[in-house]
Structures are given as structure tokens and as C-alpha cells.
Structure 1
Amino acid sequence: MARHDSNTIIKLADDTTVVGLITDNDETAYRDEVRDLAVWCQDNNLFLHVIKTIVDYRKRRTEHAPILINRAVVEQVESFKFLGVHITNKLTWSKHSKTVVKTARQNLFPLRRLKIFGMGPQILSRFYSCTIESILTGYITAWYGSCSASDRKALLRVVCTAQCITGAKRPPIQDLYTRKCQRKAQKNVKNSSHPGHRLFSLLLHGKRYRSTKSRSKRLLNSFYPQGIRLLNI
């Protein structure tokens, strides 16, 4: 658990991420958290890979002293891969969507081969759902809402190519995104222990959820505002 309220420690298996909210360029709490984590790992005979990186999301970036772990400098980068999703310091999703398109296109080749070998439409559709569609929709609720128009067209072209190969109509990415957002929002509403549960608050009449205030288009297109709008339909 983080020592400072402005920090959050995200743990999954052997992967640990420290996220800090830095106000007025005061990095003291964040640096303390990283130092405490390094000391705890050392005391508990755990080895930290210092190759791990830091991404700075602040709009106004200034030169600052490097962060050290075991006297080694932690590199600051423009993007990193977190649980399969490419996150950039500008919080744009072009890099991730291009990676998704590239991987999905690679799986179009075995789909074509299956058709040449005489596989029926049912097998082709299952192969598409298990390989290509699962790639296109991986963590889609996190990134698709803020994708650029060109990125969405590239994703759509993959679906159109698959339709030509299988000979069957496939659901558009937008429909899959909407469906997954709605299902995830419904799960968050039912799960009171979920961190995002409190964001789904009913209005006084109890029929609609309170809309989330957003000053930027990026926040407006993110999952929680989208989920609330879908639940209110």
C-alpha cells in the first residue's frame, strides 16, 4: 500500500507500477515512494529490474534530477507497454492501435490459408473470433474511445478484409466497443468493491446516472463517461 495519498501502487503477479500525482512540480512524495519500494524489496530479498522506465504525463515538463534505484538511473521514456497496452506520455493511442493493426494483419495470412485448404465458413468465423477479433478488442474500453479517425479506419480495414476472406459479415469495431463498454459499466455498478463503482451514482429520481464532468475531449471519450452515457440510454 502506498504511503502517500497522492501515489498508487499497482501490483500484478511479478509486475509493480508506482503512479504518482505530482502537483506544482513537487516530486517529493513520489520519490519517497520509489525509495521505500526499493528498500522494501531489498529487505525482502526481491530484485528490482532498474531497466524499467518512467513516463512523465505532465503537459509542462521541466528538467529534474533523475530517479535512482540501487544507484542506477531509471530511464525516462516517451512510451511504455503496460499489460499489453502501449501508453505514451501524451496519452494518445496511435502507437497502440498501429501495433494492434499490425498484429491482426499478420493473422489474416493463416485465415487465407484455411480458406484455400477448403475450411467452411463456420471454422473461418471461429478462427477470426479467436485470433483476429480478440486482438482488435483487447483492452478496447481503455483506448478505442480516444482513437483518431485514421486509426479507426485502419482497424476497420482489417475487419473488411476478414469479411472478404470468410464471406460472412463481421460486427464493426465500434459496435464491439459499445457492447464491451456497456457490459463493463454494468459490472462496475454491481461490484461495490470496484475502485470505479463510486463514479456510477444515481440521480435523485433513481432512473439515470449522474454524468461525469469533463473539461477535455480525452476525458469525455474515456471509459467512465462513455459507460455512464450508455447506461442512461
Structure 2
Amino acid sequence: MDSPSQGLTQSVHVGRNTSSTTTLSTGAPQGCVLSPLLFTLLTHDCTAKFSSNHIKFADDTTVVGLISNNDETYYREVAQLAKWCGANNLSLNVSKTKEVVMDFRRNSVDHRPLTIDSSTVERVSSTKFLGVHITENLTWTTNVTSLIKKGQQRLHFLLRLKRASLPPPILTTFYRGTIESVLTSCITIWYGNCSAADRKTLQRTVNTAAKIIGAPLPSILDIFLARCSSKAYSIMKVPTHPSHSLFQLLPS
């Protein structure tokens, strides 16, 4: 804990050229069991100063704010975050930072650009957050299309294994590990609100895999319901969970 990087050295190797060796004095090595804990301690005081929320997951930080009556609290929150990073020897990568504005009013207004250190943040209609595509109109077609594309690419390998005369149990294991895991990624978040057309397209990929394997596979809907139930029970078991108060067991 005193100095995880003490005595560690590094160099850069490009082609046949190797740079001189430098001794590390800060940071933590990649793969070190203490690295996540140390990063959590470092970012513990990175909290919202105004009415906005900070969502932190590993090294991804998201600022969520409500803009009403041209309130600039959201912009001040981003400025405070940039100030905190500067005070802690960190820098925000503006090129990787995106802004999504969700405005469902009939007469929407143009919001002024968001800037970080005099650099304008790109405003996009869709962004990828922890593997899930979130759009400005809160529809899930973009996310579903991305998942289906990945799943269909893997169907090719499933077909090749089938032609190699592998038995259905092995094919099913491959499907669950490489295709089903992709199609159902974060399914409790988006499946309940995606369109009927998107659900049919997802299920069509599962049906194709079932024909290749020659054995029935659980439907996307069944997986969604099972995971929602599992998530609900896990939340109810933890009284300190932020969503614990939303669940109440019915009398038997």
C-alpha cells in the first residue's frame, strides 16, 4: 500500500529499437490486485457539487444533469469535474468525451455547446456507455442492431463447428458462450422497452442458431424474464441497495 510501483521499471520497444529504462515513481502496474482499490480511493472525493449525478464505473465517469429554464448547473458541474481532475494530476480526454442531449419538448431549444478547457465537446445523437448504445430519443434500435451484427458474425463459426460433426451439447455450449452472451448483454436494461420489430429480429438470430445446432434454445424473452427475476431477488437481499425500497415481497 505504501508504494505499489516501488522498484518497477519500464521501457518502450518499437521494432528493433528499445528506449532507455525509466524507474516508475507513481501509478500502479496493470493487473495488480491493488490497482482497482487504489483508483477507488483516488476518485472517492470526485462527487457532484450541484444537483447533477456522477456515475462512476472503473475509469469511466459520466455526468448526468437536468437542464431546466436555461439553468447552467450542468455546465458548472462539468467545469468542477475538470477542475478536480487538474488538482489530482488527471486530464479529461475531450476527444473521447461525448455529450447527448435528450429533449422531448415540442418546442425544443438549442443548448449552448459544452466546453472543457476551451475545447468543445462533440454532441452526438448516440453514444456507447459500458457496452450499451444510448440514443437521444431513448430508443434501442441502434443497440439491438449492434448486438445482432455481432451475433450473426459468430453464427458463421457455429456453422463451421456443425460441419466438423461436433455434437449438439458442445455446439450449445459454444452458442451460449459466444452468441447468447452477446445478444443478451445488459438485457435487463433495454429489452423491456425495445420495439416488437427489434425483438423479432433478435429471436430470428436465436432460431437460426437452433436450426444449426439441431436442438431447442431458450428464447430471448425467457432469458429476459429470468434475469429480471434474478436481479430483483438480488436487490431485495441487500438492504443498502439504492433500489431496495422499490421492491416489496407480496404475502404468500
Aligned partner of 2:127 in structure 1 is: 80
Equivalents in 1 of 2:225, 2:248: separation in Å? Answer: 20
- Quote the residue 2:241 is aligned against: 194
Q: Secondary structure at the match of 1:80?
A: strand
Of residues 21, 33, 48 in structure 2, which corresponds to 1:2? 48
Give the aligned residue type for 1:40: W
What's the CA shift for 1:74? Answer: 0.8
Structure 1 position 161, deviation (Å): 0.4
Matches within 5 A, 1:168-179: 168-179=215-226
Distance 1:181 1:86 in 2: 20
Q: Report the CA distance between 1:75 and its aligned residue.
A: 1.2
Match of 1:35 among 63, 68, 79: 79
Map 1:136-215; keep pairs closer than 5 Å: 136-201=183-248, 207=251
Cα deviation digits, residues 2-58 of structure 1 (max 9, x gap)? 112x311011121110011223332x2111110000011011110101121111112
Structure 1 match to 2:28: none
Q: Show CA shifts across 1:116-171 (max 9, x none).
A: 11111111010001011101111000000111111111101101100100001001
SS of structure 1 residue aligned to 2:84: helix
Which residue in 2 is equivalent to 1:125? 172
Which string of whole-angstrom CA distances, capped at 9 and with x for unpartnered residues, describes residues 95-122 of structure 1?
A: 0001111110000000000011111111
Distance 2:220 2:144 in 1: 12
**More displaced stretch, 69-78 vs 190-199:** 190-199
Deviations along 1:192-216, one digit per CA (max 9) or x if unpaired, are 22221121145xxx528xxxxxxxx
Gaps of 5+ in 1: 209-233
| Code of the aligned partner of 1:68 | T
Unmatched segments (≥5 aa) in structure 2: 1-46
Aligned with 1:2: secondary structure? coil
Matched-pair identity in %: 48
Is the alpha carbon distance of 1:56 and 1:187 closer, same or farther for their aligned partners in structure 2, counting shifts above 3 Å? same
User: CA offsets per residue over residues 173-210 of structure 1, 9 Å max, x none?
Assistant: 000000000100111111122221121145xxx528xx
User: Quick check: 1:66 aligned with 2:119?
Assistant: no
Counterpart residue type for residue 63 of structure 1: D
Q: 1:88 offset after TM fit, Å?
A: 0.2
CA distance in 1, matches of 2:190, 2:200: 15
Q: 2:214 & 2:117 partners in 1: Cα distance?
A: 58
If each structure's helix is expressed as a fraction of its own residues, which one has the higher value?
Answer: 1
Structure 2 residue 89 is the aligned partner of structure 1 residue 45: yes
Residue 143 (structure 2) pairs with residue 96 (structure 1): yes
Higher relative contact order (CA 8 A, sep 6+): 1
- Larger Rg belongs to: 2
CA RMSD of aligned residues (A): 1.3
Whole-Å Cα distance in 1 between the matches of residues 212 and 176 of structure 2?
13
How much has 1:72 moved relative to structure 2? 0.1
Q: Distance in 1 between matches of 2:180 and 2:103?
A: 34
CA distance in 2, matches of 1:22, 1:119: 57
